[in-house]
Chains A and B, each alone.
Chain A
Amino acid sequence: MKKTAQLFFLIFMIILVSCRKEEPPVKEYQEDKGVFICNEGNFMSGNSSLSFFNTNTKEVSNQVFYNANGFPLGDVCQSMKIFGNYGFIVINNSGKIMVINTSTFKHIASISNLPSPRYVEIISSTKAYVSDYSSHYITIIDPSQFTIGGNIPIGATTEAICKSDDFVFVSSWSFGNKIYKIDSRIDKIVDSVEVVIQPNSIVFDKNKKLWVLSDGGFNGLSYGWENAALSRINPEDMSIEAVFTFENKEFSPTRLQISKGGDTLYYLNGGWGLMHPSSGVCQMSISDNSLPQTALIQENGRMFFGLGIHPSNGDIYISDAKDYVKKSVVYRYTPQANLLDSFRVDIGAGYFCFKE
């Protein structure tokens, strides 16, 4: 029995030993130009992250936020906007915006207490608008003080947000089919127009016309399922000037972007691996009379999820999210669709934010 007791004691001693986890090392980064990539991660998993691609050295750094700060971004990194030295990273399902220094990636502030933020548009040094998926208003924040200043009732959820002089245009995507025009001097809606359901992205062209991409919902969505459409709107009187309807109802186009010159539109067509000649990155001139029949960069079995156009050289950035479990791959193409390179980022890379 004595031996047994000794054995017990020994086992106790072994298993009582436990040690602490160590904090990750903090890395410093240079002030080069580059591209931030928002990796959404998996909904409810809190595994979103930020990657940075240095366009000078062609180096890619993953988990730059965590590595600089020792804590995670949160759940679903939706989008990012740069204003001065500040990067406003929208963490949709954590109800907050994380503000970082875009050179050091150091966390500066958290703008919290938001319902379900999606995108930020900077109006001035003291005012920015935040769209929201789970409320019927735009939240006004102060991008210098990092505080919430108020809200603008919309009456619907809000998504894409785009400024043109004193006016801000907002799309309502979730359970929505409208584009709202807000006068940013008085923070009030002044006009709106109905488009095909679920307008997910909007851009201005060089003629100051507003382009709206509606995905039309999907089969089984109670809100409806329509053919997707690209619409051109005159922002002055909010009249619809042109509607380009996607002929295949299965198409679910997203991520409308525009070239630096404001004359060429880009978007992702097909959606999630649909094998079709026009699945992939589509390119369309603002003067074209119809939608392109074939994609500029074919999806080809990949799962295109994010799209960005470099604002100065026009390079096309596409992410392949694969199965949303594995790491995404970012492909860089020239504006002529020649592949430059590709690199791995993190789970669910969906949004590109260019640091100039």
Chain B
Amino acid sequence: MFAGILFLTNIDLFSQKNDTLITVPVVDIISKKPLKERIVQRIKIDTTLIQNNLNNSLSELLSNHTTLFIKTYGQGSLATASFRGTGASHTSVEWNGININNPMLGQVDFSQLPIIFIDQVEILPGSSSLQNNSGALGGTINISSLPKFDKKLYGMAGFSYGSFNTKQSFAQIGGGNSKWQNRLRFFHETSENNFEYYNNANGLWNYEKQKNASYEKKGVLAETHYQASNNLFSASFWFHESNRNLPPIISFQGMERIEDQKDKDIRASLKWTSFFKNGNSDLNAGLSFGNLNYYLAHQTQFGLYENHRSSSESQSYFLKYKLEFNLRKNLFLRWNSNFDHAKAHYIDHRQNKSFSPKRNTLGSSLALFYTFRESTSFYVLARKEITDNELTPFMPAIGMEINNLFLKRFSFKTNFSSNYHQASLNDMYWEPGGNPDLKPEKAISADAELSYSNRQNSLLFYHISSTFYASLVDDWIVWQPSEFRYWTAQNIQEVFARGIETKAEIKTNFKNFNVLFFANYSFTKTENIETDIQNAKSLGNQLIYIPQNKSNVFVNFVYSGYQLNYTYNFIGKRFTSGNESDERHFLPWYNLHNIGFSKKWIFKHWSPDIELKINNLLNTDYQAILWRAMPKRNYSLTFKINF
């Protein structure tokens, strides 16, 4: 094992905006941070990483550059997150202030969130997520657009061609004046995704081409921003559609099978931010509609035999109000209130049955931040919610931060919280097996972070942080076989998750030569607690598909328009069933190496660039999920023009 070199990007020190040339503003890192930005852990993903992943999805960005573990079935396929040892529904994603988790499944498919539509990614792990909303026992990922009030007209158009006949086209155009800005983005991707892999699962021991894995996804994002006398109005609209074929596992040798999934998502957000003397307020209204169609059929000697055909539609509406107010110079207040309404309709066309669950949630939280001697800050937060006329227990959080420790280079922060996650609509109302009596899942979490930064220096900046966290999640929902011959959702699992996240970033800049180095390492021990007949508790097995060790490194060199970057990813051993002792129920660790090389030319009004990416450089055979094929070395070439 390579030692703990680990990192991330807490502070957006080196502003890179839209191009890859770096300017280095001299910023005082710690003491000037406004009170409301302190204590809470907020991990902002560096803009270089966002630029570098422009034609990827959020799945690759998070997987390659954060401590989050993304469980992925491969390019274009379902990708879900496990954050700090929790489950897929415990990570919530908010887009411009509205939650985009599917209310039926409770989770987000990160493969369907293209980076081209995202300007900023901010991660609030564990207890810190309660600042936003409840339920994110693992954490919240905020993705958002940033208006550019300094531009009259700007745009970008790109085309990418890659292995397995993967084609991407993407474009954006924006502009306006210092009061009113509009922006339109477009994205389209198709892939045959018929990569070659070594099949070690059927006894033939040969190279095969992946079958039935092609996909198409496309989307449009339109936004408008208007600012006038201390008010900012923003409206954004996002349409996304994808059609994907779902490949069978590689031991499959049956007659041809047709399995596909079609998704359509519409999201809209309206936001009015008002700034006043000692604070600001946000009024946010939004909606998120999802439509998912799933189809499975077997080819037979007498034509297709349809096994499954279903559609799920969901509609979520959100209304939020946030007030932030500096009561005194050293006392800050934040009041959040939200009303959410979600409804869904599921139809099983083959069995000709349906169900239509819905849910209302009303929540409110109040947080007070206090600082003294500029170096020590505290907050207390209290949150209360009503879901479908049921009061969720009180959700408190507290935190503390001390800066300028030891030679003013260290800082320490800690957060504690109690948080509740509501069961998904499927968990409660799926037929058969949904359980309307489910209690919310409960988490008690704590974390402590120690970080170290060097003093201001325009040549070299480094920041290292290490966070220890622990969470006890009770009433964790698991689907269990029931006495009625079908599976039912029950609040039966208790999970103890704890671990360490270490991040490091180094940035240097001299004579037009820039180097970025980011690294992350996470150790995640997440085990179910087993209770025996005498009610004695013992720690059970590591939850499946959550590696204990995960690490990644990103290195970026920029010189005179040339850019070279290298991404390294290590995923440790994962258990594939709850039987740790068994030699066959795990997947071994693997390493992935990606490199990218680009050249950018800058002319007066426009700047073209060309980039070559090589993924899985060492041609590694690996499985992210048991008996699911993954591509070996593959390439992509991207042309882009910015103006």
Do chains A and B interact in one complex?
Answer: yes
Which one of B248, B300, B486, B578 contacts A220 once the chains associate, using CB atoms below 8 Å?
A: B486
| Distance, CA A74 to CA B209, complexed state (A) | 18
- Given A8-B517, A222-B348, A222-B352, the answer on whether A115 and B584 have CB atoms closer than 8 Å is no
Closest chain B residue to A135, Cβ basis? B300
Say if the beta carbon of B585 comes within 8 Å of chain A: yes
Provide the residues of chain B in CB contact with A323, threshold 8 Å: 478, 480-481
A-side contacts of B480, CB under 8 Å: 323
A252 in contact with B485 (CB, 8 Å): yes
Decide if A46 touches B485 in the complex (CB within 8 Å).
no
Given contacts A16-B593, A346-B582, contact A116 B555 (CB under 8 A): no
How far is the CB of B295 from the nearest CB of chain A, in Å?
14
Shortest Cβ distance from residue A15 to the other chain B in the assembled complex, whole angstroms: 5
Q: Are B255 and A347 in contact (CB under 8 A)?
A: no
Are B585 and A47 within 8 A (Cβ)?
yes
Q: Are A273 and B626 in contact (CB under 8 A)?
A: no
Q: Give Cα A151 to B300, complex, Å.
A: 11
Docked pose: A74 CA to B250 CA in angstroms: 8
Is A63 an interface residue, CB under 8 A from the partner?
yes
The reply to whether the CB of B627 lies closer than 8 angstroms to some CB of chain A is yes
**A45 touches which of B553, B576, B578 (Cβ 8 Å):** B576
Alpha-carbon distance A74/B618, docked complex (angstroms): 28
- Verify if B293 is at the interface (C-beta below 8 Å from A): no
Task: Give residues of chain A (210-246) contacting chain B, Cβ–Cβ below 8 Å.
Answer: 215, 218-223
**Partner pick for A46 among B205, B251, B618, CB 8 A cutoff:** B251
Chain A 311-338 interface 0/1 with B at a Cβ cutoff of 8 Å (1 = within): 0000000000101111100000000000
**CB neighbors of A among B574-596 (8 A):** 576-579, 582-585, 588, 590-591, 593
- Is there an interface contact between B483 and A134, defined as CB atoms closer than 8 Å? no
- Are A137 and B348 interface neighbours, CB within 8 A? no
Please state if A112 and B481 are interface contacts (CB–CB under 8 Å).
no
Cβ contact within 8 Å between B257 and A69: no
Q: Quote the shortest CB–CB distance from A271 to chain B (angstroms).
A: 5
- Residues of B293-352 contacting chain A, CB below 8 A: 298-302, 305, 307, 348, 351-352
CB within 8 Å for A74 and B252 given contacts A135-B298, A270-B483: yes
Residues of chain B from 617 to 635 with CB closer than 8 A to chain A in the complex: 618, 620, 626-627
Q: Is the CB of B484 within 8 A of A250?
A: yes
Note all chain B residues with C-beta closer than 8 A to A327.
579, 582
Indicate if the CB atoms of A115 and B591 lie closer than 8 Å. no
User: Interface stretch among B80-88, B196-204, B374-382, B445-453?
Assistant: B196-204
Q: Please measure, in the bound complex, the distance between the C-alpha atom of A62 and the C-alpha atom of B255, giving whole angstroms.
A: 29
A252 to B432, CA, bound (A): 15
Instruction: Point out the residue from B253, B517, B577 that lies within 8 Å of A112, measured CB to CB.
Output: B253
- B144 CB, min distance to chain A CBs, angstroms: 33
A192 to B254, CA, bound (A): 29
* B555 surroundings in chain A (CB, below 8 A): 8
Which A residue's beta carbon lies closest to that of B590?
A18
Does A272 have its Cβ within 8 Å of any Cβ on chain B?
Answer: yes
Q: A271 contacts B483, CB within 8 Å?
A: yes
Known: A15-B553, A222-B351. A272 touches B252 (CB 8 A): no
Q: Which of A1, A15, A18 has the most CB of B within 10 A?
A: A15
Given A136-B305, A347-B577, do A11 and B553 touch, yes or no (CB 8 Å)?
yes
Say if the beta carbon of A96 comes within 8 Å of chain B: yes
Within 8 A of B (CB), among A52-107: 62-63, 66, 69-75, 91, 93-96, 107
Chain A's closest residue to B432 (CB) is A220
Q: How far is the CA of A230 from the CA of B205 in the complex (A)?
A: 47
Question: Residue B252 contacts which of A70, A95, A136, A347 (CB distance < 8 angstroms)?
Answer: A95
Contact A218 B302 (CB under 8 A): no
Number of B residues with CB within 8 Å of any CB on chain A:
64
- Does A264 belong to the interface (CB within 8 Å)? no
Q: Say whether A326 contacts B578, CB under 8 Å.
A: yes
Residue among B253, B257, B480, B626 with max Cβ neighbours from chain A (10 Å): B253
A136→B481 CA distance, assembly (Å): 29
Determine the residue in chain A with the shortest Cβ distance to B252: A94
* Cβ-defined partner of A42 (8 Å) among B577, B588, B590: B577
Asked if A44 is at the interface (CB within 8 A of a chain B CB), the reply is yes
Given contacts A63-B584, A107-B203, contact A219 B484 (CB under 8 A): yes
B353 within 8 A of partner (CB): yes
Flag whether B602 is at the interface (Cβ < 8 A).
no
Contact present for A96 and B483 (CB under 8 Å) = no
Q: Is the CB of B582 within 8 A of A44?
A: no
Chain B min CB distance to A90 (Å): 11
Contact partner of A110 (CB less than 8 A), chosen from B200, B253, B460, B593, is B253
CB-CB under 8 A from B482, the residues of chain A are 272-273
Q: B503 → chain A, closest Cβ, in Å?
A: 15
Does A14 belong to the interface (CB within 8 Å)? yes
Bound complex: CA of A270 vs CA of B316, how far in Å?
A: 40
Residues of B within 8 A of A42 (CB): 577
Question: Smallest CB-CB separation from B517: which chain A residue?
Answer: A8
Give CA–CA (A69, B254) in the complex, Å.
20
Q: Say yes or no for B249: interface residue by CB 8 A criterion.
A: yes
A69: min CB distance to chain B, Å: 6
B490 to chain A, nearest CB (A): 10
With CB as the reference atom, state the residue of chain B lying closest to A109.
Answer: B203
Closest to A42 in B: B577
Do the beta carbons of A113 and B553 come within 8 Å of each other? no
Residue from A1, A215, A219, A324 within 8 A of B432 (CB atoms): A219
Digit string of A127-143 for contact with B (CB within 8 Å is 1, else 0)? 00000101111000000
The answer to whether the Cβ of B226 comes within 8 Å of any Cβ in the partner chain is no
Which single residue of chain B is at the shortest CB-CB distance from A155? B302
CB–CB B579/A326 < 8 A:
yes
- Once the chains bind, are B253 and A113 in contact (CB under 8 Å)? yes
Chain A residues with a Cβ under 8 A of chain B: 1, 4, 8, 11-12, 14-16, 18, 21, 24, 42, 44-47, 49, 62-63, 66, 69-75, 91, 93-96, 107, 110, 112-116, 132, 134-137, 151, 153, 215, 218-223, 250, 252, 270-275, 303, 321, 323-327, 346-347
Would you list 11 pairs from A and B whose C-beta atoms are within 8 A, ordered by A residue? A42-B577, A44-B249, A46-B626, A63-B582, A96-B253, A96-B254, A115-B298, A132-B300, A136-B302, A326-B578, A347-B577
* Given A8-B555, A45-B576, A137-B301: 11 more A-B contacts, CB < 8 Å: A4-B460, A45-B249, A47-B576, A74-B202, A74-B251, A75-B251, A115-B300, A220-B431, A274-B484, A323-B481, A326-B579
Chain B contacts to A: CB under 8 angstroms: 2, 5, 200-203, 205, 248-255, 257, 298-302, 305, 307, 348, 351-353, 431-432, 460, 478, 480-486, 506, 508, 510, 515, 517, 553, 555, 566, 568, 570, 576-579, 582-585, 588, 590-591, 593, 618, 620, 626-627
List the 5 shortest-distance A-B pairs measured between CB atoms, nearest first: A95-B254, A220-B432, A112-B253, A274-B483, A135-B300
